[in-house]
Copies of this chain bind each other. A is one copy, B any other.
Amino acid sequence: MTLYSQLADRLREHIKLGFFKSGDKLPSVRQLANEHGVSISTVQEAYRTLEMEQLVEARPKSGYFVPETSHVISMPKLSRPPQRPLDVSLWEDVLNMLLSREKEAFCQLQHAMPDMQSKTLKPLLKSLYELNKNRPHEGMVYGDVRGDYSLREQLTRLTAASGCILHPNDIVITSGCQEALSVCLKAVTKGGDIIAVESPGFYGAMQAIKAADLKALEIPTDPSNGMSIEALQLALDQWPIKAILVTPTVNNPLGYVMPEEKKKALYQLAQEYDIAIIEDDIYGDMVYEFPRPKSIKAYDEDGRVLLCSSFSKTLAPGFRVGWIAPGRYRNNVTHIKYVSSSMCPTLPQIAIANFIRQGGYDKHIRVMRKHYKEARDKMLNGIKTYFPSDTLVSYPEGGFVLWVELPERYDAVKLSEKAQEHGVHVAPGQLFSATGKYRNCLRLNYCDRTPEIRLEALKILGNILLNMNTLETKQQKKRA
């Protein structure tokens, strides 16, 4: 156990035992560092952990405090998926959710589509239509199978912010992150192989595992800091795992950022067992903290990390511009990308490259980070207000989705069906597992429509939950 987590454990215990009460000021960072003989940064990391769990709150220039308990919602505990490789199922359910997108719905909390109303996107859109007007020929011809060079150049700049040192030829442009993940899975596996994944984990990745005839081994995952390294090691000892697929920086659906030490530990395990890491960094630039944390790829000494990302969460999914930094798998990845869809449309790539070069991208994500952080807090408040009191919720450190664990008596699939009747869409938790776990969970975005409409949607969900509960209690009484 790391120093910071030992310290966090002790502080957590003290708060829970009541040594520090609601509203109390906690010891200063310096004081704790001296008391425990650890570094300032260790104490900061410990406080950061507790902050994510909403057990402490930082007040600018005043230090750390125990928040008013009325504001606290606990986080879900470490997940406990079955520890054996499984075939992924649930495609029908994923498809139903994908096809349920309706412009007319009251509130669509089911998808992970960014808010695209910001004025900061305007220069990008203008650039795109001007390219279509003035340089249509470039949009018509076959482009480079690896993607437009100007965009790959800009991507070396963007990925440098997460600690990667790449050359444009170390990058392959893809049709979104979905193609990136699928291509990488195929580049490092053969049919029947086992992939270690987070649990819960992104349904698109789960379905890609299914389509590539692979098996998913879901690793217990802590909603505050990611995949359990201990559990991963046990799994690696027991099974011939071919690759680890992780979303360590702003996880989907949980929203955590895996601490730096844990990222390093995960990389070291991959080295030790000589396997590949497919790192999904699609939300990486949407972390609320600035500068953004390093990716696992930043520690990659021997090219075993395949970094996947896209502009679908930072700019707009409709452009279908993603990328892979495939490390030592470059030749294989280029082959599979070519076979998968030949090349990607060129004009969106040029438009995005221009947008990054001219500073539009940095400006946009700065605005959106702030925007989503505020939206998160409102959403958490809404859940606190309208959902059953024993509901658990993740505490996203970036992006625009969160994970709700309802008390076990609730069925999120039923909730989802009932909610649709009221024009409210949610993503049932089971889609985020290989085989139908998390039936009492759901993922909600906090970017569709306005905060007011989202609050109203939460109220509708809360009412349905209340009725479901009453109904069940009645049925139980009847049976008794």
Interface positions of A (Cβ within 8 A of B): 91, 94-95, 98-99, 101, 111, 113, 116, 125, 128-129, 132-133, 136-145, 174-176, 178-179, 182, 186, 190-191, 204, 207-208, 210-211, 213, 316-320, 334-336, 338-346, 348
Distance of A283 from chain B, by nearest CB (Å)? 16
Q: Find the B residue at minimum CB distance from A178.
A: B342
Contacting residues, chain B, for A140 (C-beta < 8 A): 116, 316-319
Cβ contact within 8 Å between B338 and A95 = yes
A286–B174 Cα distance when bound, in Å, is 29
Collect the chain B residues with CB atoms within 8 Å of residue A186's CB: 211
Q: Give CA–CA (A343, B204) in the complex, Å.
A: 12
Q: How far apart sit A344 and B179, CA to CA, in the bound complex (Å)?
A: 11
Tell me the bound Cα distance from A116 to B138 in angstroms.
11
Q: Do A190 and B204 touch (CB < 8 A)? A: no
Bound CA span A25–B18, Å: 109
A343 / chain B contacts, CB cutoff of 8 Å: 320
A132 partner, pick from B129, B138, B143, beta carbons under 8 A: B129
Partner of A318, one of B142, B204, B335, B341: B142
Q: Which residues of B contact A132 (CB under 8 A)?
A: 125, 128-129, 132-133
As for how many copies of this chain the complex holds, the number is 2
A145–B101 alpha-carbon span in the complex (Å): 11
User: Closest CB-CB distance, A117 to chain B, in whole Å?
Assistant: 9
CA distance in complex: A211, B339 (Å)? 7
> What's the Cα separation between A138 and B125 when bound, in Å?
12
Assess the B129–A341 pair: CB atoms within 8 A.
no
9 of the cross-chain contacts (CB-CB < 8 Å) are A101-B142, A129-B129, A129-B133, A140-B319, A178-B342, A179-B342, A210-B339, A211-B336, A317-B342
A336 to B139, CA, bound (A): 26
The interface residues of chain B lying within 8 Å CB-to-CB of A204 are 338-339, 342
Closest 7 CB pairs of A and B: A140-B316, A129-B132, A175-B341, A191-B191, A178-B342, A211-B339, A179-B341
Q: Which of A91, A204, A336, A339 has the most CB of B within 10 A?
A: A339
A278 to chain B, nearest CB (A): 14
Minimum C-beta distance from A142 to chain B (A): 5
Are B145 and A342 in touch, CB under 8 angstroms?
Answer: no
Contact indicator A179/B141 (Cβ below 8 Å): no
In the bound assembly, the distance between CA atoms of A472 and B174 in angstroms comes to: 46
Report yes or no: B317 in contact with A141, Cβ–Cβ below 8 A: yes
Contacts of A319 in B (CB 8 A): 139-140, 345
B residues less than 8 Å from A101 (CB atoms): 142, 144
CB distance from A314 to the nearest CB of B (A): 12
Q: Are A339 and B208 in contact (CB under 8 A)?
A: yes
A98-B145, A204-B338, A210-B339 known, 15 other contacts, Cβ within 8 Å: A94-B338, A98-B338, A99-B145, A101-B144, A128-B136, A140-B319, A141-B316, A175-B320, A178-B339, A178-B342, A179-B342, A207-B335, A211-B335, A318-B346, A319-B345
